[in-house]
């Protein structure tokens, strides 16, 4: 639905009114930079900007540098004011944020949000409200903070067909895995260090269990494939089972282990074009551009039919990088208020079916302890063959009483691979499956 | 100047008419994908697209897959047609391209161009014509083909302040330098190989002398610093003096040599905020993200105040990648025709002075052959000290009759460094200056 008449633009005389919801790390930084760089930002908008109010939970708390007249604890009243054109939501959380963002959109305000959980859970409802009111919903900061990826997928690559997106989209887990690789230390120690250095929350589960990455995978898949994908559609496995031994084995074999958010379009066994999104620890070759993304950096690797391979790299979290993305969106939303026009909204025209995880093609790296006797390798190989899985490499190593057997498969259906591993566990010759890690990027 | 009334949008019923100028590698691919993916593209535009004509030089040449009724050799007539809304210029060259693009803009058509030489030479004139007519000028493909960088600088980073941009923006020279590094072969041999493999033109001078990179540096600096920068403002030095010995020395010291386009904002000796753009071979540490950009890949490294360090990586040339960028722009231009609104245009409000190259701060890696006797090091060091240049590392190596002396300086004014090197040449103790290469990224 095109509502051209509502986007005529207000012209450049009346200032564009901005309401900021939230004064946490990001909210404070958004307000600070907005005031400090007002001149530059107004030049880029082509019109005046004015902060009309700042909604906070506790109005009595001292907030140095914030004009007290701007403060309110009534977000609902603020967003409905006639002189507010754009609402910046940096409260976080899902339920209340959903309520205020929906109210803002329905009141005809464009919304800029950094809230990945909100967008991943309620994109359909939000997009519908924005469309009905003929306003913009921007959320560049929701995926990988300052790294431009929402914009490039929505605009720069709008003439191309995306084949896959694979991203390191959670800085906490990348910090932990990279620190384990660099120091040889255990998962537990590095989680502790991440908490102490402020890279992880005291309860790190949203990061280490992959939920944060899964929200971002849902957003990326929606954008890449023009299909509505929510977090519930994303297969999700965290990094808590990765041991320092896994990392060492990976390194020796020429791989890095990264928590990847993988979104892909493929043709399933019935010849149907489908998409899938998944998050899990992944072995990638050391010479893959994603392998050298260290510390808490993020990177998104995109493969498109015409563009080929692209990568976007940078700071995926933190107050300043998130603010950069929020203010970039704010300039875009304000430009549209001044000059008319609308940003590309949710695009779901392709509406591709979402494959079940079992139908996704993956490759397994299986590390196991087996009996050290003649015939074991034949028995194990036969099991893979019976399940139609071909092996790419097999490495056997004597370990005294037992042998270590490392098998890397070719691509096969996830369900067949998982089934094979459960059958391997039943073999008397197999003493222990030490680790099973998927492999990508070759 | 805001001409809101001209951007009301034509609504989604009348198709957006497209004229394609040129049927070289990119022109053919643009037409092919535009027709093959018409449905997807129209969904993304939110309206119909229709190719109204294709202008070529020789209308009698057989062009398989092109509807003969679309062909014309009268580009000027085509672009002025009432049913043409957007002109895609993929002819290349400067003078004739300038003429048709200006005519198209003045006739009220939005223009999408992949022509870096045109944009780098005539941005002011083109931007003015676009602004007067209230239409869009898009040129994502002009810098690093499919890698989204114009869009991110214009939009995603619109809320941030860019500090510097350093890019590998010429695939030919990156291929040559990478091949020299990998094989140990000479510059001449690798240029020959690049020509044979189609990475370089038979006359490779535009690439190897740095002119192509300088055009892109001008465009990047303009976008990053909101200041008009043309190719003439860019200091430019090619890679033809780089020897296999330089590459070997660099590798041993932990560096890669890349041809970088560097755009920076800094405060000069008078306390004035200035900008500069330069292209030259550059030593960068092996662990810098740009160092691992191999083969003919391109990458643009951006440092911004809030976002921090970002990098965009991908295919910087070729028919398909260039087409991806052109079609992305076409979708954007068509969206504005349907829904109203305008893309961000040229932004020159900051209008910062362009520093002379001599005032830029650089660091030198100087490799020289000196007399092997007591006092030489003191003499050389004294010369640097006299010119207020402090040394970071000094390495001396016995080579029989003479010694090899490798000096790496701290940052100093380019003019002082260049002057020091010319004075070094006068010293009796200095037999030969083997190489002088600038160093960045530490």
Instruction: Please confirm, yes or no, whether A295 is among the known catalytic residues.
Output: no
pLDDT digits (tens, 9 = 90+) for A306-352: 999 999 999 998 999 999 999 999 999 999 999 998 999 999 999 99
E runs forming strands in B129-254: 137-138, 162-168, 235-236
pLDDT of amino acid B239: 98
Looking at the predicted structure, is the pLDDT value of residue B5 above 50?
Answer: no
Q: Which residue of B has its CA nearest to A162?
A: B324
Which DSSP category does B82 fall into?
T
The catalytic position among A52, A109, A216, A231 is: A216
Distance (Å, whole) CA B97 – CA A194: 55
pLDDT of amino acid B12: 58
Looking at the predicted structure, is the pLDDT value of residue A90 above 80?
Answer: yes
Identify which of B332, B311, B283, B353 has the alpha carbon closest to the alpha carbon of residue B169. Answer: B311
Looking at the predicted structure, is the pLDDT value of residue B10 above 90?
Answer: no
Looking at the predicted structure, is the pLDDT value of residue B6 above 50?
Answer: no
- B4-20 mean pLDDT: 71
Give A-chain residues touching B308 at CB under 8 angstroms.
Answer: 146, 314-315, 318, 320-321
Distance (Å, whole) CA A41 – CA A378: 68
- B69-76 mean pLDDT: 97
Identify which of B440, B81, B112 has the alpha carbon closest to the alpha carbon of residue B276. Answer: B440
Q: What percent of chain B has pLDDT over 90?
A: 94
pLDDT of amino acid A13: 79
Looking at the predicted structure, is the pLDDT value of residue A1 above 60?
Answer: no
Task: Write the CATH number of the domain with boundaries B360-439.
Answer: 3.30.70.260
Q: Is A375 on the interface with B (CB under 8 A)?
A: no
- A24-33 mean pLDDT: 97
On whether the CB atoms of residues A87 and A79 are closer than 8 A, the answer is yes
pLDDT of amino acid B128: 96
Nearest CB to A306; choose among B41, B146, B332? B146
Is the alpha carbon torsion for A411, A413, A414, A419 positive or negative?
negative
* Cβ atoms < 10 Å from Cβ of B353: 12
- Residue extents of the structural domains in chain A: 16-145+319-339, 160-313, 360-439
| Confidence class for position B399, pLDDT limits 50, 70, 90 | confident
Distance (Å, whole) CA A365 – CA A160: 33
Give A-chain residues touching B134 at CB under 8 angstroms.
Answer: none
**A152: which residues sit within 8 A by CB, 6+ positions away?**
A302, A310, A312, B148, B151, B152, B156
Q: Is B204 on the interface with A (CB under 8 A)?
A: no
Fold classification of A16-145+319-339 is Rossmann fold (3.40.50)
pLDDT of amino acid A154: 96
| Confidence class for position A442, pLDDT limits 50, 70, 90 | confident
Q: Which CATH architecture has domain A160-313?
A: 2-Layer Sandwich (3.30)
Q: With H, G, I as helix, E, B as strand and everything else as coil, classify residue B175.
A: helix
Give B-chain residues touching A339 at CB under 8 angstroms.
Answer: 2, 4, 7, 341-342
Q: Cβ separation of B2 and A9 shorter than 8 Å?
A: yes
Looking at the predicted structure, is the pLDDT value of residue A12 above 80?
Answer: no
pLDDT digits (tens, 9 = 90+) for B115-130: 999 999 999 999 999 9
Q: Cβ separation of B327 and A44 shorter than 8 Å?
A: no
Distance (Å, whole) CA A15 – CA A67: 18
pLDDT of amino acid B210: 98
- Per DSSP, what are the bridge partners of residue A137? A111
The catalytic position among B109, B216, B231, B258 is: B216
**B375: which residues sit within 8 A by CB, 6+ positions away?**
B429
Q: Which of residues 88-147 of B touch A (CB under 8 A)?
A: 140, 145-147
Q: Cβ separation of A310 and B147 shorter than 8 Å?
A: yes
Q: Is A43 on the interface with B (CB under 8 A)?
A: yes
Q: Cβ separation of A324 and B306 shorter than 8 Å?
A: yes
Q: Which residue of A has its CA nearest to B147?
A: A310
The distance from CA A219 to its chain's CA centroid, rounded to whole angstroms, is 7
| H or E element in which residue A188 lies | helix A187-196
Give A-chain residues touching B4 at CB under 8 angstroms.
Answer: 8-9, 11, 339-340
Distance (Å, whole) CA B35 – CA B112: 17
pLDDT of amino acid B13: 79
Looking at the predicted structure, is the pLDDT value of residue B208 above 70?
Answer: yes
A351 phi-psi bin (left φ>0, alpha ψ -120 to 50, beta other)? left
Burial A111-134 (b: 16+ CB within 10 A, else e): bbbbbbbbbbbbbeebbebbbebb
pTM: 0.95
pLDDT of amino acid B11: 61
pLDDT of amino acid A69: 96
pLDDT digits (tens, 9 = 90+) for A377-413: 999 999 999 999 999 999 999 888 899 999 999 999 9
Is the alpha carbon torsion for A316, A319, A320, A325 positive or negative?
positive
Fold identical between A16-145+319-339 and A360-439?
A: no
Looking at the predicted structure, is the pLDDT value of residue A115 above 90?
Answer: yes
Identify which of B357, B418, B356 has the alpha carbon closest to the alpha carbon of residue B387. Answer: B418
Looking at the predicted structure, is the pLDDT value of residue A189 above 60?
Answer: yes
Give A-chain residues touching B158 at CB under 8 angstroms.
Answer: 41, 44, 327-328, 331-332
How much is the ipTM here? 0.94
Distance (Å, whole) CA A162 – CA B327: 14
- For every residue of A71-102, DSSP letters joined together read EES-HHHHHH-TT--EEEE---SSHHHHHHHH
| Confidence class for position A5, pLDDT limits 50, 70, 90 | very low
Looking at the predicted structure, is the pLDDT value of residue A3 above 80?
Answer: no
User: Across chain B, what does the average pLDDT equal?
Assistant: 95
pLDDT digits (tens, 9 = 90+) for A32-56: 999 999 999 999 999 999 999 999 9
CA distance A399 to chain B (A): 37
Q: Is B345 on the interface with A (CB under 8 A)?
A: no
Looking at the predicted structure, is the pLDDT value of residue A251 above 90?
Answer: yes
Is the alpha carbon torsion for A141, A30, A75, A64 positive or negative?
positive
Q: Which of residues 12-41 of A touch B (CB under 8 A)?
A: 12, 29, 33, 37, 40-41
Burial of A251 (0-12, 13-18, 19+ CB in 10 A): middle
Q: Which of residues 281-320 of B touch A (CB under 8 A)?
A: 289, 292, 304-315, 318, 320
| Interchain CB contacts (distance < 8 Å): A and B | 245
Distance (Å, whole) CA B189 – CA B267: 42
| H or E element in which residue A435 lies | strand A430-439
Identify which of B342, B433, B338 has the alpha carbon closest to the alpha carbon of residue B380. Answer: B433
On whether the CB atoms of residues B356 and B411 are closer than 8 A, the answer is no
CA distance B396 to chain A (A): 33
Q: Is A330 on the interface with B (CB under 8 A)?
A: yes
pLDDT of amino acid A4: 38
Q: What percent of chain A has pLDDT over 90?
A: 94
* Beta strand pairing call for B86-89 and B16-21: parallel
pLDDT of amino acid B2: 37
- A244-252 mean pLDDT: 95
């Amino acid at each position: 639905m095109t509502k051209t008449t509502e986007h005529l633009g207000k012209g450049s005389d009346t200032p564009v009114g901005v309401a900021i919801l939230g004064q946490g790390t990001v909210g404070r930084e958004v307000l600070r930079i907005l005031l400090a760089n007002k001149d530059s930002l107004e030049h880029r908008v082509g019109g005046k900007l004015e902060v009309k109010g700042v909604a906070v939970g506790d109005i009595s708390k001292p907030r140095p540098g914030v004009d007290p007249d701007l403060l309110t604890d009534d977000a609902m009243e603020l967003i409905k004011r006639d002189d507010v054109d754009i609402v910046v939501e940096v409260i976080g959380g899902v339920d209340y944020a959903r309520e205020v963002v929906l109210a803002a959109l329905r009141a005809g305000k464009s919304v800029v949000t950094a809230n990945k959980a909100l967008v991943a859970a309620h994109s359909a409802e939000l997009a519908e409200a924005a469309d009905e009111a003929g306003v913009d919903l921007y959320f560049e900061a929701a995926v990988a903070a300052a790294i431009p990826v929402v914009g490039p997928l929505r605009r720069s690559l709008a003439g191309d067909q995306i084949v896959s997106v694979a991203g390191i989209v959670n800085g906490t887990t990348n910090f932990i895995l990279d620190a384990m690789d660099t120091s040889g230390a255990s998962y537990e120690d590095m989680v502790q260090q991440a908490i102490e250095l402020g890279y992880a929350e005291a309860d790190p589960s949203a990061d280490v269990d992959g939920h944060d990455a899964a929200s971002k995978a849902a957003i990326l898949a929606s954008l890449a494939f023009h299909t509505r994908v929510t977090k519930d559609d994303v297969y999700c496995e965290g990094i808590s089972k990765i041991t320092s031994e896994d990392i060492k084995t990976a390194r020796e074999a020429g791989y890095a282990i990264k928590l990847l958010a993988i979104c892909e379009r493929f043709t399933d066994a019935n010849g149907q074009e489908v998409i899938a999104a998944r998050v899990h620890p992944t072995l990638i070759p050391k010479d893959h551009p994603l392998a050298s993304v260290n510390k808490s950096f993020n990177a998104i690797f995109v493969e498109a039919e015409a563009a080929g391979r692209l990568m976007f790299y940078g700071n995926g979290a933190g107050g300043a990088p998130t603010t950069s993305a929020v203010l970039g969106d704010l300039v875009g939303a304000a430009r549209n208020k001044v000059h008319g026009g609308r940003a590309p909204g949710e695009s779901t025209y392709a509406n591709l079916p979402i494959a079940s995880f079992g139908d996704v093609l993956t490759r397994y790296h299986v590390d196991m302890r087996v009996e050290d006797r003649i015939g074991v390798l034949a028995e194990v190989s036969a099991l893979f063959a019976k399940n139609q899985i071909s092996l790419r490499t097999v490495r056997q190593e004597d370990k005294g009483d037992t042998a270590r057997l490392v098998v890397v498969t070719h691509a096969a259906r996830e369900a067949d691979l998982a089934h094979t591993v459960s059958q391997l566990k039943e073999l008397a010759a197999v003493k222990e499956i030490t680790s099973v890690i998927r492999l990508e990027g070759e």
